[in-house]
Chains A and B, each alone.
Chain A
Amino acid sequence: MIKRLLGLTVAAAALAGVAAAALSLTGAGATFPYPMYSKWFSEYHKLHADIEINYQSIGSGGGIKQVTEGTVDFGATDGPMNDEQLAEFKTKRNCDVLHFPTVMGAVVPTYNIPGVAADLNFTPEALAGIFLGKITKWNDPAIASVNSGVKLPNADIVVVHRSDGSGTTFIWVDFLAKVSPEWKEKVGVKTSVNWPVGLGGKGNEGVAGQVKQTENSIGYVELIYAVQNKMSYGKVKNPAGAFVKADLASVTAAAAGAAANMPEDFRVSITNAPGKAAYPISSFTWLLVPNKIQDPAKKKAVTGFLTWMLGPGQAQGEALSYAPLPKAVVAKELKAISKIQ
């Protein structure tokens, strides 16, 4: 018995020794793309058995902080770093940080109105008014005028938002700030904001649960969450005037529409993107990679992974309900990989 245990321990140690010879990369950051990254890193490891990539989904804030401190090789964030954070990175790490969009996400309005089963249409002004607390009844003209076939009750709207800091909130308030100057001035854009009205639920599941349990309520959840849990959600009017329902195609269309004017560093918000088929509350999620990597083996692994991610990796997104990047953006990114030295 003891001999067997001893033998097993030696074998395990030997295996560990073999695994330790492999190259190991660490990353940390956003929770939204975690299922996708998890799948990618394991698939990549199957193709390159000597490269192991570990990812911890500690939140975008954590990801930015850790990559700036240098405790991880790359970070991940749902909201791009601002100029202040870029400057801090440069001071601490003596090089610049590059943003690489990986997949796309979207945020959808979900509601619970007894007697209303149809997909409601929402104008950006209506959504801003509801979340500012200005529009308080469901049968307000701002909502009723674009939903002519639906009987909306004369009931108070109960607003539900996220209580935890999140990329989903960031995308939602970024959209509201673009369409409503009052929102931009009064509330602003961040992963956590000072909500004028509403209850806070923790996580997508908290908001969804609260909306399900509360009559005449409205909240916002991540598209993938809504799809996987078969929730009903509304359509939102885009700048081209069309009421678009969020799905993989309309989200990719938003990025395609924004691709023409995309800045070189990919730090762009694509909410309210142009294009008839574009869903207006869409966003990228980014990997943060320093543009100077000392270790040549690590550099090869990182650039290799990024190239693979932009090629075969993109096709794997759809199975997990992540919208793939449009071809124009992929082409730009492949060129940007050469900036890593």
Chain B
Amino acid sequence: MSSSVTVPESALPPRGAQSFISRLKAGEEIAYLITLTAGVTIFLITALVLYELIAQSALSRHKFGWSFLFTSVWDPVAGNFGALPFIYGTVTTSLLALLIAVPLGLGAAIFLAEMAPPKISNMMTFLIELLAAVPSVIYGLLGIFILVPVLKQSVVPALKSVFGALPIFDGAFYGMSIFSAGIVLSVMIVPFIISVSREVLLSVARDQREASLALGASQWQTIWRVVMPNASTGIMGSIFLALARALGETMAVTMVIGNTPQIKASLLAPGYSIAAVIANEFTEATGDLYLSALVELGLVLFGVTFVLNGMARLLIMTTAQKGAHK
């Protein structure tokens, strides 16, 4: 998902030079077969998951076709299902989370990799990585009991007094909203960005930094113009890892998003996400069409992740090419 590093040809053992049996005896073929099996198994599992998603959602796909992606109604009683509010909620909360987490995470990673003394850097990294180990239900509970009251009492009134005229901060705020979900998600994904970006920044070759400093650049100029571009593919990778987590996050989101399938311009309005609705309704869903529609939502999430990752890879490829031409 992250880098586009390819294995140099010379590193592989000569394949046609020895006969199969002698390679087997030498143990190299066994290693090749074992690792091949591992690789193929992962591929097979992904293919199986995709196959099940497609097969179980067949009823719903045949009934609604492509209009499933553009309909806003979710009516289990009448049997009318549409994915649009959930796609909107999933994408909006994830992008909002990225908007908050990326500057915060990158800033922290730069501080930990470049500026902090090694002891502090190691200890703080350890603590930040612990954040990633906290179960998402706990984040949901913290969201309900701590974040939402704070937002209601201090943050949102302040935001509204300054930016109240903007449509994204319009309307009454009841605590559970896309905004709250975005903030909770950003706290959950920041450790991924920090830990991977820090590793990548630390792995940039020392001589690059030293050359830059020797040419008279300041420390910040070195970081911004030399170290970061070198680490850019790894940093992009960490951002996509974080995005993937945010898109699929279920429990924390369903506890603070308000669980209302609607599309409103305001971030302060409640919304719904794909993972949240599946978690909420799957166990009690009676009726084949209902179940099939929920599975189709899962397929849609698969598709959304695929599209976002694809766009991201395109972005990497074009910026890498641009960088090469510089």
A interface with B by C-beta (< 8 Å)? 58-62, 64-65, 85, 156, 158, 163-166, 187-195, 198-202, 206, 209-210, 213-214
Contacts and interface: CB of A to CB of B under 8 A. Distances in A.
A20 B73 CA distance: 51
B21 interface: no
B284 A194 contact: no
Given A59-B284, A198-B260, A213-B175, A190 B144 contact: no
B283 interface: yes
A163 B286 contact: no
B283 A210 contact: no
Nearest to A156: B172
Nearest to B258: A199
B77 A190 contact: yes
Contacts of A198: 260
B281 A187 contact: no
Given A165-B280, A202-B280, A188 B78 contact: yes
Interface in B237-260: 254-255, 258-260
B270 A199 contact: yes
A49 B175 CA distance: 51
B294 to A, nearest CB: 10
B311 interface: no
Nearest to B283: A59
Contacts of A61: 283-286
B229 interface: no
Contacts of A166: 284
B149 interface: yes
Nearest to A210: B176
A65, A166, A191 pick with most chain B CB within 10 angstroms: A191
Given A65-B286, A164-B283, 18 more contacts: A59-B284, A60-B284, A62-B284, A163-B280, A165-B280, A165-B281, A166-B284, A191-B76, A192-B76, A194-B74, A200-B259, A200-B260, A200-B280, A201-B259, A202-B255, A202-B280, A210-B176, A213-B149
A199 B174 contact: yes
B56 to A, nearest CB: 13
B284 A199 contact: no
Given A163-B259, A165-B280, A202-B259, A191 B254 contact: no
Contact of B286 (A58, A189, A191, A202): A191
A83 to B, nearest CB: 13
Contacts, number: 88
15 contacts: A60-B286, A164-B281, A164-B284, A165-B76, A165-B280, A165-B284, A190-B76, A192-B281, A192-B284, A194-B76, A198-B260, A200-B270, A202-B259, A210-B176, A214-B175
A213 B152 CA distance: 10
Contacts of B77: 187-190, 193-194
Contacts of B270: 199-200
B137 to A, nearest CB: 11
Contact of B254 (A64, A85, A158, A163): A163
Contacts of A193: 75-77
B152, B281, B283, B286 pick with most chain A CB within 10 angstroms: B286
B291 to A, nearest CB: 8
A166 B281 CA distance: 9
A13 to B, nearest CB: 33
Contacts of A195: 260
B258, B276, B280, B284 pick with most chain A CB within 10 angstroms: B284
B283 A194 contact: no
Contacts of A189: 77
Interface string B139-181: 0000010001100100000000000000000001011100000
A158 to B, nearest CB: 6
Interface in B275-309: 276, 279-281, 283-286
A64, A165, A193 pick with most chain B CB within 10 angstroms: A165
Contacts of A192: 76, 280-281, 284-285
